[in-house]
Amino acid sequence: MSLGLSASMSGGENRLETISRLAQWRVDTIGPCSYRRSDAFKIGIWNWYLSVEKGRSINVRLFPEPGRVAKERPPLARFLLRASWAGPPRRSFTSPVHEHLLRNSEDFFWPIEMSLGRLTIDVEFLDLKIATNNAKSPVSIWPNESMALQNIASKSTLGLLSRMLTESIHADVTINTTDGVLKAHKAILAACSPVFESMFLHDLKEKESSTINISDMCLESCSALLGFIYGAIKQDQFWKHRLSLLAAANKYSISDIKDCCEESLLEDITSSNVLERLHVAWLYQLEKLKKGCLTYLFVFGKIYDVRDEINSFFQHADRELMLEMFQEVLTAWKPI
């Protein structure tokens, strides 16, 4: 949070300065009412107030500005307070770390046994969460530091990986597709697929030649596969090559890619592709996609839209698949 100075409506008496997660309020005198409240200051999504009141001791209170934000999204704050007197003699008290749900001025106060004088009150927020009514644990409004670090690290790793691919940095394996050549890295391929891992393990040709002849993939599809593996694939490239990617993911046992393709193929089932999708789902054991296609055909009755095609489909379809389709029909058309 940037340095902000709260505006003062009362000639600077209640002015308060904030920086980052710290607010500091200088109270010169408490005044005749035995009560003083700071100007509002914003930290997180809330406007806050500090107040001091003089009773038998001095009570310092911290509370959010009453209103919608505080009501609907009350802060769960972890904070500590410090009170110091310029003196002489200079003295200060530091509160223990408090963790409180702060809805209004009654929820928290910190008593200090001290005579009056020029007083400075610091409040430092260690964490601020939005309290929730449901069972979900409240989430900090500040990104978790380790998470943020993780994000930066993964981003930079992804950048490096895609550079390794696009610029062929220390590439040590050549992939011959049906219509072109690609360069990649044994270590990356082996780490993502057990098939590639074994390929370079035994004393077969690839270990020595460092060349893979993938004769069932074209250059574009294979580029998409490498793009996915190196984290550099674009959405439209994925969309265009998802069937080839699915076939390759199944062949090379790369379950992340397989799952992604299945999810994607589930999103655009139409009557012109449902039989093709059903076949693919059956071939690669994609239970969700298969269920989706069967539901589309039988529960939603789209089977009538593909009447002609279904005949040719049945001529070639596997017996097991047909059995499953039949079962689905029975379930869908069960008399009530």
Closest separation in Å from C-beta 292 to another protein? 17
159-168 contacts at long range (C-beta below 8 A, 24 or more positions apart): 161/188, 161/230, 161/231, 161/232, 162/230, 162/231, 162/232, 164/188, 164/230, 165/226, 165/227, 165/230, 165/232, 166/232
Task: Please say which residue, 128 or 189, places its beta carbon nearer to another protein.
Answer: 189
| Run of H or E residues at 313 | helix 307-316
Nearest to 41 by CA among 61, 15, 59, 67: 15
> By C-beta, is 217 or 224 nearer to another protein?
217
Q: Which amino acid is at 131?
A: A
Which DSSP string do the residues of 151-216 spell out, in sequence order?
HHHHHHHHHHHHHHHHTTTT--EEEEETTEEEEE-HHHHHHH-HHHHHHTTSSSHHHHH-EEE-TT
Residue 13 or 309 having the CB closest to another protein:
309
Q: Which residues does 7 contact at the CB level (< 8 Å), separation at least 6?
A: 39
Q: Tokens in use for 194?
A: 């057990």
Using DSSP's 3-state secondary structure scheme, residue 325 falls into helix
DSSP at 74? -
Q: The tokens 């002489």 sit on which residue?
A: 88
How many residues bind another protein, per CB under 8 A? 35
* Of the candidate residues 12, 318, 323, 333, the single one contacting another protein (CB under 8 A): 318
313 touches another protein by CB under 8 A: yes
Q: 162, 174, 253, 295: which one contacts another protein (CB under 8 A)?
A: 253
- Judged by CB under 8 A, the stretch of 5-13, 111-119, 289-297, 315-323 that binds another protein is 315-323
What is the per-residue binding string for another protein in 196-235, x denoting contact by CB under 8 A?
--xx-xxxxxx-x---xxxxx-------------------
For residue 224, the minimal CB distance to another protein (Å) is: 18
Reduced to 3 states (helix: H, G, I; strand: E, B; else coil), residue 51 is strand
User: Where on the phi/psi map is residue 109: left (φ > 0), alpha (ψ -120 to 50), or beta?
Assistant: beta
If the CB atoms of residues 99 and 318 are measured against another protein, the closer one turns out to be: 318
Q: Does 316 bind another protein (CB under 8 A)?
A: yes
**Closer residue to another protein in complex, CB, 161/306:** 306
Considering only the stretches 19-27, 76-84, 273-281, 287-295, report the one whose residues sit in contact with another protein under the rule CB under 8 A: 273-281
What's the min distance (Å) between Cβ of 163 and another protein?
27
Within residues 172-201, the interface with another protein by CB under 8 A covers 194-195, 198-199, 201
Q: Does 293 bind another protein (CB under 8 A)?
A: no
Q: Would you say 81 or 217 has its CB closer to another protein?
A: 217
Which positions touch another protein (CB under 8 A)? Answer: 194-195, 198-199, 201-206, 208, 212-216, 250-251, 253, 272-273, 275-276, 279, 282-283, 285, 308-309, 312-313, 315-318
